[in-house]
A and B are shown apart, each in its own frame.
Chain A
């Protein structure tokens, strides 16, 4: 079992470019999350999805959109990247005991 997978692992964008970060799980959990991790700031929740077809904003949603078309996949889209979005992005899911499982992360640099 792969658990939570993320693609790509690394990405460099220019300001104004768009991209989609992909996340997939094979754990059959309903809830999925997108976080960003910045030095000195800890992990902050961008968006989450309690179940297929539902999404909700977290602490820092501005500049991002998400899509949860099926139970397995939860994607994060940057429509017009900005240098402030340079960060490490983590996808996670949550099981019935509330334990969260994280993917390996996507390291994004916006120039």
Chain B
């Protein structure tokens, strides 16, 4: 069974700092990996999706990398801002007989302080 782990569970950084969030998964036979952001009391917003054949994806100040062989992904946030405060979740797609399914990590709660 695929398991997805995110460490640390919570992180507090000063504004302007560059930071890395980690995601690891137990089964390397993934179809792709997706990073989400969740604000308190809200739904999830997709940030980046990395196909299994790709090594990284970038969007603005965000860069996500994928190393399937080691079962790891990182989300790099450059020049963090208070508006980046949220919970970040990673999820891996696996192919099943009935279609693609996402398995989620429990998230890293990020606080960017002034």
User: A residues touching B (Cβ–Cβ < 8 Å)?
Assistant: 4, 31, 33, 40-45, 48, 50, 56, 58, 90, 92, 94, 97-105
Interface of A is mostly: strand
The answer to whether A98 and B107 touch (CB under 8 A), given A45-B101, A50-B99, is no
Alpha-carbon distance A44/B103, docked complex (angstroms): 7
Interface of B is mostly: strand
**How many chain B residues touch the partner (CB < 8 A)?**
24
Residue of B nearest to A39 (CB): B106
The answer to whether A98 and B32 touch (CB under 8 A), given A41-B106, A43-B89, A103-B43, is yes
Contact of B43 among A44, A50, A97, A102 (CB under 8 A): A102
B49, A99: Cβ atoms closer than 8 Å:
yes
